[in-house]
Structure 1
Amino acid sequence: MKSSKKLKPIASLAKQNERGAARDHGNVLRVLQQQENQLNELISYRDEYINTFNSAGANGISVIQYQDYSLFLRRLDDAIKQQRQLVTNGRADCDQSKSKWLEKRSRSKIVNKVVEKRQLNETRQQEKREQRESESQPGVSVRKY
């Protein structure tokens, strides 16, 4: 069996690994996008709530209403803080999955180049053999066009 054919299963496996890593990276990107969207929604909701609080405060509110607004704002701020941490972790996961994918991609390209070089060498060797065989046979002329 030719050495290029022996390497084809390895090249195929490297390509599968690359595709799997690319798929994983895509999933991590989608999760990060969802986390960022949720963070933006929380921030937007907090801003709207602050505007409502300020409007209500301008008309006068009771101490209990003020405490309720303040408590809810603190809870929103805590949720935003937690969501920011999720986004930070998600970005780190995204960087890691991207590195893994790029590594798998690089390996796949290297293996494919090795296979291509071996195929080229095998083709050249086959052509040389055929040339020698045709030259060694009497009465056969080789025309060049």
Structure 2
Amino acid sequence: MTKESPLKTLIGLAQDDVDTAAQRLGRLQRERGEAEAQLQALITYRDEYHARFTESARAGMAAGSVRNFQAFIDTLDAAIGQQQRMLEQADARLEAAKPEWRRQKQKLGSYEVLQARSEATEARKSARREQRDADEHAARVLRMRASNP
């Protein structure tokens, strides 16, 4: 069993942190999308209800019906306002999560650069070692040939 280097352990932990931050960002994006969809649904419903009422009002309508319509429109407007605030809050949470994701991504990138440098250094050492071994072997062969004419 090979032992993992501390840098690989850090990379694994950093990748976990990036994954967690990305999942959070995705969840917040979905929540924002849902809030926006609900807002659009409320606005569409309000517009359709208003259009139906306007069409009915052209034929004449009792004062009580007009008051009921106005009360319902006021309720819809309040719901739309509340949903707009929820959308703004979802936007704020989403924007607040982006720097954390970027920071985690940058940390992971830094560890990966260090790992690449470490691997390159090890490769150079290994190449030098192989070259030295080959040179020593060639020198031994020459000495053996020189001593055995």
TM-score normalised per structure 1: 0.88
Which residue matches 1:99? 99
Aligned mates of 1:6, 1:30 — CA distance in 2: 36
Q: Mapping of 1:14-33 within 5 angstroms? A: 14-33=14-33
Question: Is residue 125 of structure 1 aligned with residue 145 of structure 2?
Answer: no
Q: What residue identity is the alignment partner of 2:47?
A: D
- Give how far 1:100 is off: 1.6
Deviations 1:39-93 (A, max 9, x none): 0000000001111121121111111111100000000000000000111111111
Question: Is residue 113 of structure 1 aligned with residue 113 of structure 2?
Answer: yes
Aligned mates of 2:18, 2:100 — CA distance in 1: 9
Which residue matches 2:141? 139
- Give how far 1:129 is off: 2.1
Which residue matches 1:56? 56
Aligned mates of 2:6, 2:64 — CA distance in 1: 78
Aligned mates of 2:135, 2:83 — CA distance in 1: 77
Q: Which runs of 5+ in 1 are unaligned?
A: 141-145
Which residue matches 1:12? 12
**Partner SS state of residue 109, structure 2:** helix
TM-score normalised per structure 2: 0.86
Q: What residue identity is the alignment partner of 1:75?
A: T
